[in-house]
Amino acid sequence: MAESSFATRNLQPTTRNSESWRSFRIATWLGWQIESNWADPFLFAVYSIIKPLSGAAILVVMYGIIAQGNFSNPLFPYIYLGNAFYIYAGAMMTGVSWAVIDDREHYKTLKYMYIAPIRIPVYLLGRGVARFITGSFSVIITVLAGVLFLHLPLDVMTANWPLFFLALFIGVVMLAMMGLLIGSISLLLVHHVGFLGDAVASALYIFSGAIFPLDVLPAWLRPIGFIMPITYWLELVRRSLIGNVAQAFPTLAGFSNMELLGILLGLSLLFGVISILTFRFCDRRAREKGLIDRTTNY
Amino acid sequence: MLTWLGAAWKRWKRWVQVSSDQLSVIGDRSAVSTHPQKVTGWRLFLKTVFARAYPRVIGQQREKSWMFFDIILPLGGVIAYVLVYKAIGAPAEYVGFVVMGGAMTAFWMNVLWSMSSQLYWEKEQGNLALYIMSPNSMMAVLLGMALGGMLATLLRAVAIVLLGSLMFQVQYAVTSFFQLLAVFVLAMAALYGMGMMTASLFLLLGREAWHLSNLAQEPIYLATGFYFPIKSLPFWVALGASIIPLTLGMDAMRQLVFPSGAKIGFLSVGVEIGVLMALCVVFLVGAKLLLAHMEKLAIREGRLTEARR
């Protein structure tokens, strides 16, 4: 181990970079194969469309019953877009963290990954890319359905695309790092923590103002939403796509776009650092306790 | 009295021990020689049911984190949808609809992941071939899975209803406890019968089983009206969704439990009870026939031990 660490420290930066890139690239390819090759492309496309559209349709029906079909209220695009882009949160967080459980318990390959010349955190992040791709597909379909059939007030000519893509990029990186955080903890836990990513995504669905303004939450619970970068990310995405409609809600109305971007960047960096430190700690503990090749087999 | 209790306790312990041994026989052939007690016919059927239900009821309670996830995950959905209704100013009874729907999702999740796709997991772990070669009925194995899963999930569903009702102060006004019990029992029997039937279909599946179970979540939540009255959907859509027992089960329970329930009912409670009874028969008989057919097919095609990863 000492020799290995010594060797790693003395590698040229280009070698280390190429190792990271190779780990990421191969993990992305592997993740995509696992996600998609269980069915023919048509069935996979149907699967990728039906699931997110049904999730969105539940909210549409709920809203439609109460609002009696009035979809022009600003609350509707707030709910619809928040729900659509939250698909990324579920996909990225569970995608990265599930890779630990999948490799360790199902394919029983995590131990081989550890002895292969790859960088494990980069490998795990790469495994999340496949979910990002399928998630993107779902988000685009959901938003498109909203524009075509539900009069979602999204105008491609007036949308702030630079802000949208910048916020999207920061948000996806932030979500991947949160996935790494959950994946790191999963290294120390048994099989059923496959639910951990879902549980965290489910909790943040409530606290991030994804489908209702944070003001609906009891006052004592709102601070949880304010320390979560996803809250600011979703707000920026909404503002960049539907402008003033999104700014109508009081929760974050006092912040300008640049202020929101600054807060998102700061919190993303903070969560990124926490994720890396957590990975180092959990990785060391898992090696010490011999948990890398554990099979809990529930 | 104490003597009787002591004797009853010993009889119970012995029964549990024998049944557990029966379970271990499935995984360890050497146990046959140390416990040669042989049962056949209905006794074997019942013991198999008990043996398969046992880990569902006892094992799951031992794993505290499973209880946490089973309650918290549906409760998270309940809270989110309740707050959406609050945000859009929905009448108070809709909060109750969501709480009830959230509790029933626990059963759907159980049927989906621990009934339908269970034989796929058993195949992955190498147990399926042992089930098939052991001298017992696969129907008994499935029935044990269903009964054990139903009982374990009932505890979680009750917890979700209690927590949801306390958090959001849901008001109930039960019009007929007898009908409510009948609807619940029939809905569960039909639902788990459906789970047993689909389990036999999953016998032939490989890795796609996981994805198909995953796919049967949101679309079913939508079609069966977990979070809104099914009457809100177009008539033919609601009628089509009635093939899933939870659709009519939940609709009838909402009519019987909430003050404004009758107004939002899709069909009358009596008709829904009748349909649920028919679904029970169809699914249980279908499970028996389909299982026999699929078992033969899986053996013929050599799919009992394959692990397509």
- Where are the domains positioned within chain A? 2-288
Of A38, A203, A211, the CB nearest to B84: A211
Complete DSSP assignment for B135-202 = SS-HHHHHHHHHHHHHHHHHHHHHHHHHHHHHHHT-----S-HHHHHHHHHHHHHHHHHHHHHHHHHH
Look at residue B26 in the predicted model and tell me its pLDDT.
46
Look at residue B206 in the predicted model and tell me its pLDDT.
67
Local structure of residue A212 (DSSP, 8 states)? S
Assembly ipTM: 0.84
CA distance to A153, A229, A236, B221, B244, per residue, from A144 (Å): 11, 26, 19, 22, 30
A208's tokens: 């991030």
Q: What number is the average pLDDT over the span A77-91? A: 93
- Express each pLDDT in B280-303 by its tens digit: 999 999 988 888 888 788 778 777
Contact B108, B150 (CB under 8 A): no
Is the CB of A198 less than 8 angstroms away from the CB of B73? Answer: yes
d(CA B229, CA B115) in angstroms, rounded, equals 27
Per-domain residue ranges of chain B: 61-300
pLDDT reading at A176 higher than 90 = yes
Burial class, B295, CB count within 10 angstroms (exposed 0-12 / middle 13-18 / buried 19+)? middle
Q: What number is the average pLDDT over the span A127-146? A: 91
State the pLDDT confidence band at A12, using cuts at 50, 70 and 90: low
- Express each pLDDT in B208-253 by its tens digit: 777 788 888 889 999 999 999 999 999 999 999 999 999 999 999 9
Is the CB of A62 less than 8 angstroms away from the CB of B84? Answer: yes
d(CA B140, CA A175) in angstroms, rounded, equals 45
B207 contact residues in A (CB cutoff 8 A): 38
Burial A10-25 (b: 16+ CB within 10 A, else e): eeeeeeeeebbebbbe
Q: Which of A202, A197, A271, A196 is nearest to A232 (CA)?
A: A271
B80 contact residues in A (CB cutoff 8 A): 202, 205-206, 211
Contact B157, B103 (CB under 8 A): yes
- Express each pLDDT in B104-145 by its tens digit: 988 998 888 888 778 877 877 778 888 888 888 888 888 898
d(CA B99, CA B76) in angstroms, rounded, equals 11
Contact B229, B254 (CB under 8 A): yes
Spatial neighbors of A174 by CB under 8 A, at least 6 apart, are A229, A230, A233, A264, A267, A268, A271, A272
Contact B271, B181 (CB under 8 A): no
Greater confidence (B183 vs B76) lies with B183
Is the CB of A199 less than 8 angstroms away from the CB of B72? Answer: yes
pLDDT reading at A137 higher than 50 = yes
Of B65, B66, B84, the CB nearest to A59: B84
CA distance to B18, B19, B122, per residue, from B6 (Å): 18, 20, 38
Query: What CA dihedral angle connects A71, A73, A78 and A80, to 10 degrees?
Result: -10
CA distance to A154, A238, A259, A285, B88, per residue, from A244 (Å): 11, 9, 16, 49, 19
Q: Would you say how long chain B is, in residues?
A: 309
Is the Cβ of A195 closer than 8 Å to some Cβ of chain B?
yes
Look at residue B25 in the predicted model and tell me its pLDDT.
45
Contact B146, B119 (CB under 8 A): no
- Our CA-based measurement puts residue B86 at a distance from the nearest CA of chain A, in whole angstroms, of 7
Is the CB of B84 less than 8 angstroms away from the CB of A51? Answer: no
3-state secondary structure of B99: helix
B206 contact residues in A (CB cutoff 8 A): 38
Q: Would you say how long chain A is, in residues?
A: 298
- Express each pLDDT in B170-218 by its tens digit: 989 999 999 999 999 999 999 999 988 888 777 777 667 777 888 888 8
Contact B257, B180 (CB under 8 A): yes
Is the CB of B214 less than 8 angstroms away from the CB of A51? Answer: yes
Is the CB of A205 less than 8 angstroms away from the CB of B80? Answer: yes
Look at residue A73 in the predicted model and tell me its pLDDT.
85
Burial class, B40, CB count within 10 angstroms (exposed 0-12 / middle 13-18 / buried 19+)? exposed
